[in-house]
Amino acid sequence: MKKKVLAILLGAVMVLSLAACGGGGDQGGDSKDNTKQEAEGGQDEGGSQSSDGGYHFEVIVKSFQSTYWQAAVQGIDQACEELGVTANANGPANESDIADQVQMINDVIEKKPDGIGLAACDTNSVLDSLTKAAEAGIPVVCFDTGVDDAPEGSVYATVATDNEAAGACAAENMFPVIEDKVKAATTDAKVRIGEVNQDATALNIQQRGNGFIAKMIELCNGVDKKVAVVGNEFYVNAAEGTVSEAEAEVIIEVGVPAQTTVDLASTEAQKIMAKEDTIAIFGSNQTTAEGVITANQTLNKLSTDPEKGIIGAGFDAGTPQKEAIMNGQFIGSVTQSPLMMGYECIQTLNKIAKGESVSDIPMDGYWYDTENMEDDNIAPNLYD
């Protein structure tokens, strides 16, 4: 009888090993692994360029959930091909799986690559691992999200969007459209501007949200309108130069869903959009921007004309958002350059490996709308 127990458990081990071997083969076709193979091909051709190439980097992204990261991986692939290096990308199942990501970083440190590219899910929990990397002499380049408190000598460079500026960029582009409405606002006939943030936890989302709010306050104050921020307490507390709700002519309402699922994000958007005085709404990342779009499916209130409906703007790209812009639901969105960030990350790592000096590369957030979507500097970043 016990024989069976043993047999089954051993069988399980076999399944595991088989899965491990077989799985490796299967994966060859998909984008995460083919960097390796392509690069190996490249290496053969460029074998003579001894100083250039041959390096192996490990890249850890926040997750593979959204297509944003697909674009980043694309950029990594591209850089690998050009440089003749190899890179292997991995990431947790969910952007909130902090624990998993830490384990992944520790694991790649054990593999002793020539460098690590890191998009940290959480800037605090990775600090120990960064220290470890520094001790092991493995250079780290942060991309997408910077790690401010990184221990000395661990992070060589950061390739990241200035999220505050990117958030402000959305406010700057949104304001002119709603300017008349804002000007017409009084304390009795307030206008409401909505913002949906995925959470109040990730640093880049926080910066983006705060950037938008700060800029919007500044612009409204510029036309002599007082602003109140309501909703999620974190953002309410972070905002400066605000007045109480009763005194304000303009209200910025911040919604944060309980969990980062699209259904909850869209509920938050609905809540804001359903209000009579709402004139504009901003979704500060792909999930929440899509939440706004989903909410509009029932409300049908979004419009590019402030007289006819609510002005919508989003962040990042993805098919639904691009369609929303083309169909006149969003006036536009801010995109980062995930592709370029991935690309620059590998470039920087390569430079470090070769011993060249590197510096931080700030990436811009670009405003895009129907006008410039086809432009050369924009189009590649508008991933599906």
Binding track over 146-185 against another protein, x by CB under 8 A: ---x------------------------------------
- Tokens 């309402």 correspond to what residue? 253
344 binds another protein (CB under 8 A): no
We find the least distance from the C-beta atom of residue 326 to another protein, in angstroms, to be 9
Instruction: Find the part of the chain contacting another protein (CB under 8 A) among 29-37, 76-84, 155-163, 208-216.
Output: 29-37
Q: Can residue 245 be called a binding residue for another protein (CB under 8 A)?
A: no
Q: What is the smallest separation between the CB atom of 91 and another protein, expressed in angstroms? A: 7
Determine the Cα–Cα distance for residues 360 and 145; give it in Å rounded to an integer. Answer: 12
How far apart CA 197 and CA 195 sit, in angstroms, is 6
Tokens coding 356: 């060249």
| 244 contributes a contact to another protein by CB under 8 A | no
Residue 148 CB, nearest approach to another protein (Å): 12
The window from 30-38, 43-51, 78-86, 135-143 that contacts another protein (CB under 8 A) reads 30-38
Tokens of 45: 């051709």
Tell me how far, at minimum, the Cβ of 363 lies from another protein, in Å. 22
Question: Exposed, middle or buried, 372 (CB in 10 Å: 0-12/13-18/19+)?
Answer: middle
Contact 211, 190 (CB under 8 A): no
Q: Which is nearer to another protein, 249 or 268 (CB)?
A: 268
Interface of this chain with another protein, residues 253 to 282, rule: CB under 8 A: 255-264, 266-268, 270-271, 274-276
* Residue position matching structure tokens 């130069």: 241
| Binding residues for another protein restricted to 78-117, rule: CB under 8 A | 88, 90-94, 96-100, 102-104, 106-107, 110-111
d(CA 343, CA 76): 5
Site size for another protein (CB under 8 A) = 96
Among positive and negative, which fits the CA dihedral 23, 25, 29, 34? positive
Question: Least distance (Å) from another protein to the CB of residue 264?
Answer: 6
Q: Which of residues 44-63 bind another protein (CB under 8 A)?
A: 63
- By CB under 8 A, the residues from 217 to 236 that bind another protein are 231-234
When asked if residue 40 is in the footprint of another protein (CB under 8 A), the reply is: no
Q: Is 312 in the site for another protein (CB under 8 A)?
A: no
By CB under 8 A, name the one of 52, 81, 82, 125 that touches another protein. 125
Q: Say if residues 205 and 229 touch (Cβ distance below 8 Å).
A: no
337 — phi, psi (to 5°)? -115, 75
CB burial of 48-87 (b: ≥16 within 10 Å; e: otherwise) equals: eeeeebbbbbbbbbbbbbbbbbbbbbbbbbbbbeebbbbb
